[in-house]
Amino acid sequence: MLSNGSCIINPRLNMLKLFFSKLNYSNIPHCIPNSVTTMSLIDIPLTSFNKDINTTGLQEFVKWPESLEVLYIKNARTGPIGNHVFENMPLSLRTLQISSCKIPWPRVSIRWPRNINHLTLTYCKVETTDPTTFKDLVRVDFLSMRGNLMTDVPFGLPQTTKTLDVSYNRMRTVSDNVWGGLNNLTKLYISNNQLVSIPKYLPSSLEQLNLKENQISYSDRDALERLVNLRQLDMSYNRLLNMPQGLPASSMRRLTLNNNEIGLIRSPTDYKYCVNCSSISLQNNPWVCNQNLINMMLWLEQLQSTLRITLSGFCASIQTDLGRVELNEILHYMTYMASSFHNCLYDVQNLQCKNASLSQLPRPSPLGLLTVLVTNNKNLTLVPDNMFKLQNKLTSLNLESNGITRFPRGLPSSLLVIYLSYNKITAITEEDQSTLDQLVNLKQLYLSGNLIKILYDYQLQRMVSLRWLALNNNPMECDCSMQSLSLWYIQAETTYHYTSIQRYLEPLCVEPPNRRNQRITTIFGAYYYEYNCIPRVCTHRQGNLDCSYTTQQSINRTRFNVLPTIPRNTYWLTLDLSNLQLENEKISLTQLTRLTTLNLTGNKLTSIPLQGLPRSIENINLSRNKISTLPATTLITYYLPNLKQLDLRNNSFSTIQTQEVSIFLAVTSVLLRGNPLECNCKLRPLITWIQTNEKNEQNLSTHDLKDLICFTPKRFEGRYIINLSESEYCPVVNLSLIGGLVGGFTALLIIIIIIVNIYLYKKRKKQERRDIVQGFKDLLEKEAMNEGDPETGVGVAPVTYEYDAFVSYVSDSDDVEFVYKMLEEMEEKRERKMCIHERDFTPGRGIADNIVECISTSRRMVLVVSRKYASSAWCQYEVQIALTELHAKRRGRLLVPILLEDVTRDEQYAGSVTTILSAITAIQAPKAQDNDRTWTNFWNKLDKTLT
């Protein structure tokens, strides 16, 4: 461990690199071993030393090793770096890297170490410099001012500079005369600025120019012709419309123009200037595909053996399949196939790879494939999503006997036959369903010899042309859900007259054991399904399941308020659960994913059981229940997106709220007859909707609204709602009388509230004063536990404070504005950490505990004294006595009074604040109208006091 105490032996240590992070400069040893060549100073605060460092340099605080070559400073937090910071550096220093440190040019003129040849000033918020900024740098060959705020290249750059990096600044233009004398410059980086054109009069010595990610839309021939030594040019991510003109033909080696807007190669002369190039990159440009593009293709083919070309983009002008594929695919598809897939047979429309040891599929031909046959490649496990989506001529896809683990996604609708047998597909998932739904022309699907256990007939419904499905040699589980697939096969055999070979390819059951090796079509309707899939209290017929009270009574198995156990099954389309006295919590039918019609009439439901219903429901009968309100229409359409008819007749609706009327627009038919509707003002939304749609016979008839009648009040009983006038069911009332009564009651209530609040306020203030007094008593006891001598400091343990100061002020007064201004100055600008009760007291803890904690962990306590301060709990006699004793225990370094007003002569302060102000010199705060200099002096004085 290096320290000032070890300076005697430090020179004998053999070190090469030293790294200091998050220390004060006072903690850095003054004598560093002379063997050190590289030093890093990261996150080291220099704020308290700033004045001295700027005057005398760092040498006064640290003795630099004589062999130091590299110095790296980052996040030094010095405030603005001054003139003398780097004076008296060792002559051996060659590299100086400064990052994330504020340099206030041109207000200062830094004296640089004269021997450095590598200078980095990155992310230092530099906006501008003056011509003398770098006058001391006579040997620099590398200069980086990356990531600053400059709007132009600095004037007066060292003439020895060979590499200049001014990327990530704010330049839109560059002055013509900044390049004077830079005859040694060979590399220039001006990327990630806002340049709109190539800078003029660049040094002819340039060999590498990076203009990436600007806003350049054209290239100035004059600007480029003078660069006779240029070898590399990068103008990617600009707005170029044409190839750059004027590049030197003899020297150019690498040209990068990716992600521009180049659409046309006007003539062969546009690209022949790069005859000696080893690399051209033109990726992601929107090409206009005309005769000139063909010329370029021919030229590229001639140079492929000597020139590395990266070309891609989109051909938008040709109205054929070529207009949607990347040019790079067109140019290099055959070469790509020959070099990477030499075991395959192929042309531009057919691909065949048998036993080719593939682990990935070749990309499709840009001209559009007709057939794909890739078989017997055990390492081929995945077909990339949408790989064949644009192959709209593809009719046959054969991927048999590979290692594919899931159904290919994003297939074209042109496919007629798909072979996926003898792979490792385990299921047809919901993610695969969208692909199956697109295969409307598919006639044959082969999935034999996979690992599929279950398949539902609804997954095949959109494939309207499907005539044959091979599923043999899959471990099929013949549970209740397979009932619908079994029926699909039976119907297909009858409709399409399957041959014996096709029947052989039907799936066989593997589970349960007693049905193993049976064809799935032979067990439909057999005892297995009757016993395990049909509840014993129900009857069924062709997708309809009847578990109603009537059915259960007929077989003497009636059970009330018990939902029959119905296993997951896609076969059931309708379900009757009427008159079973079911309650809401009993309804759980989401496993019936194809159920469309549900009868729940005559139960004890109090609301629509949305969460217990399958999303496939289209018609639901809820009549003769106890439902009185409708859920939000958005919830109904979310849980039941296919709902068409909702029968709510003979329930308990007495009114229909405004937000409930929208149900008539969201659902085709809503039936409400037989409900005890109360015809009063609350029913106005429904009556208004009915009368508004009186001429729309379709609306009224589908919802059966013309026959709705009133049940109450007595005078409207039996009357049709559609015939009521508003003056009848919602007459005008005497608003003035009601208003007077309401106003009188409100005034009385306000008076009572005010009296109660005053009482509670006084009680709370009294308790707050007691808590504050108790807090200071506890604080004195805590301080007394330190057995050391407070006068001498002997025996007193060192204390680390969390806060620089705890601020005491009146929070319900104008003093708050001053306090917030002080926090902004001390915390944001001077990096102090202040504690205020409104922000830093721990919620849930008592006031006394918070006071003890916050003052104990604060180095100072700032008292913001004003005339209102005298009436606060902080100004009680006991508190002021405690503060005085604490101030003495901390050797006079606790209290810092700030006077917002001169209160020393006010009578209300006698015996309270004067207890402190008589013994401690207070700081007088400036007035709001005082100038900035007065306020700055005040802040400086306060900052010094808090140290």
Mean per-residue pLDDT of the chain: 81
Most confident of the following: 72-81, 280-289, 341-350, 601-610? 601-610
pLDDT per residue over 126-184, tens digit each? 988 888 888 888 899 999 999 999 999 999 999 999 999 999 999 999 998 999 889 99
Whole-angstrom CA distances from 353 to 77, 330, 379, 380 are: 65, 21, 13, 12
Indicate whether 940 pLDDT > 60.
yes
Average pLDDT over residues 828-835: 90
pLDDT per residue over 351-378, tens digit each? 889 998 899 998 886 667 889 999 999 9
Contacts 24+ apart (CB under 8 A), 112-121: 112/86, 112/136, 112/137, 113/86, 113/89, 114/138, 114/139, 115/91, 115/139, 116/140, 117/141, 117/142, 117/160, 118/94, 118/142, 119/95, 119/143, 119/144, 120/95, 120/96, 120/144, 120/146, 121/145, 121/148
Average pLDDT over residues 703-716: 87
pLDDT per residue over 656-667, tens digit each? 888 888 888 899
Indicate whether 909 pLDDT > 60.
no
Output the domain CATH number for residue 601. 3.80.10.10
Q: Please report whether residue 522 resides in a domain.
A: no
Q: Please report whether residue 796 resides in a domain.
A: yes
pLDDT per residue over 331-344, tens digit each? 566 667 766 777 88
Range of the domain at 444: 343-474
Question: How many CB atoms neighbour CB 804 within 10 A?
Answer: 20
Structure tokens at 215: 């806003």
Domain match, 334 and 349 both: no
Average pLDDT over residues 557-580: 84
Give the model's pLDDT for residue 60. Answer: 54
Domain match, 599 and 665 both: yes
Indicate whether 327 pLDDT > 50.
yes
Q: Please report whether residue 515 resides in a domain.
A: no
Give the model's pLDDT for residue 481. Answer: 76
Tell me what percent of the residues of the chain surpass a pLDDT of 70. 77
- Tokens 């099954």 appear where? 569
Output the domain CATH number for residue 866. 3.40.50.10140
Give the model's pLDDT for residue 318. Answer: 43
- 911 versus 426: the higher-pLDDT residue is 426
Domain match, 180 and 159 both: no
Indicate whether 528 pLDDT > 50.
yes
pLDDT per residue over 46-103, tens digit each? 544 444 454 555 555 567 788 889 999 888 655 556 566 677 788 889 999 999 887 7
Helix (H) / strand (E) element for 73: namely strand 70-74
Give the model's pLDDT for residue 30. Answer: 64
Q: Is the dihedral of CA 275, 278, 282, 287 positive or negative?
A: positive
Give the model's pLDDT for residue 575. Answer: 94
Looking at 97-111, 293-307, 705-719, which range is the least confident one?
A: 293-307
Domain match, 140 and 206 both: no
Domain match, 272 and 211 both: yes
Give the model's pLDDT for residue 375. Answer: 94
Average pLDDT over residues 471-500: 80
pLDDT per residue over 411-429, tens digit each? 999 999 999 999 999 998 8
Split into its structural domains, the chain has a count of 5
Instruction: Please list the alpha-helical segments (H only) found in 74-131.
Output: none
Give the model's pLDDT for residue 75. Answer: 81
pLDDT per residue over 717-731, tens digit each? 888 888 888 878 887
Domain match, 574 and 678 both: yes
Q: How confident is the model at residue 5 (pLDDT cuts 50, 70, 90)?
A: very low
Q: Please report whether residue 518 resides in a domain.
A: no
- Predicted structure pTM score: 0.40
Q: Please report whether residue 494 resides in a domain.
A: no
Give the model's pLDDT for residue 213. Answer: 96
Domain match, 195 and 317 both: yes
Give the model's pLDDT for residue 501. Answer: 59
Structure tokens at 328: 């790079």
